Homo-oligomer: A and B are copies of this chain.
Amino acid sequence: MNFLEEKILQDGVIKEGNILKVDSFLNHQIDIDIMRQMAYEFKRRFRGIEVNKVLTIEASGIAIATLLGNLYDVPVVFAKKSETANSTDDKYVAKAYSFTHKKMNNVFVSKPYLNATDKVLIVDDFLADGEAAHALIDLIHQAGATVAGIGIAIEKGQQKGGATLRGEGYRVESIAIVESMDWQTQTIKFREQKALPIQNPNLHI
């Protein structure tokens, strides 16, 4: 059991309707220790992969994206969900349904902030049906840029997002994958994750 699975068991709350509430440490109050550890864990899992930009979507992905950008020392971009008065820039626009807010959102990035040479690591706090991730991929492709990988804090393994994205050939690394949960008994089961292959040619095990 890794640090995030342990934290979810300790402080997460399961609610009716397949909802895992983690706002005491992930998306309202931020446990900075857990966030830092996530950034290091993503960097470890994506080792050997070139990343020159981190992309997330406002608002709750911004904290982990910032610490990851800090670790890689690359710019962070957060896709926006609403127009602001002071932006008349040309934008890449994609659509994503938000289950949290139960509505279709326009998601956009101003064109200057995604370029054809970018190798973009997508990060977000949750992956469920993959709506947000697919919108971000769409924005990256519109810019002619490359998806370096997708880093997720908590994947809901019973929903289709993870399987779809992996089926499309994307490298998805989720620190915790919830296989099943039951709000009545407050129990939760995580998918076991295989260790990454060790790339030491001298080591035979």
A: residues with CB less than 8 A from B are 15, 17, 19, 21, 23-24, 28-33, 35-36, 58-59, 62-63, 65-67, 69-70, 73-78, 80, 82, 84-87, 99-102, 109-110, 112-113
Contacts and interface: CB of A to CB of B under 8 A. Distances in A.
A102 B85 CA distance: 8
Nearest to A36: B70
Contacts of A109: 28
A85 B59 contact: no
B28 A69 contact: no
Given A69-B32, A75-B30, A15 B86 contact: yes
A75 to B, nearest CB: 6
Chain A interface mostly helix, strand, loop or mixed? mixed
Contacts of A73: 32-33
Contacts of A23: 86-87, 110, 113
A35 B82 contact: no
B29 A113 contact: yes
Contact of A21 (B63, B86, B99): B86
Contacts of A102: 85
A23 B84 CA distance: 11
Nearest to A108: B28
B21 A87 contact: yes
A149 B33 CA distance: 23
B31 A86 contact: no
A19 B72 CA distance: 32
Contact of A30 (B15, B76, B80, B84): B76
A154 to B, nearest CB: 13
Nearest to A73: B32
A123 to B, nearest CB: 13
Contacts of A19: 85-86
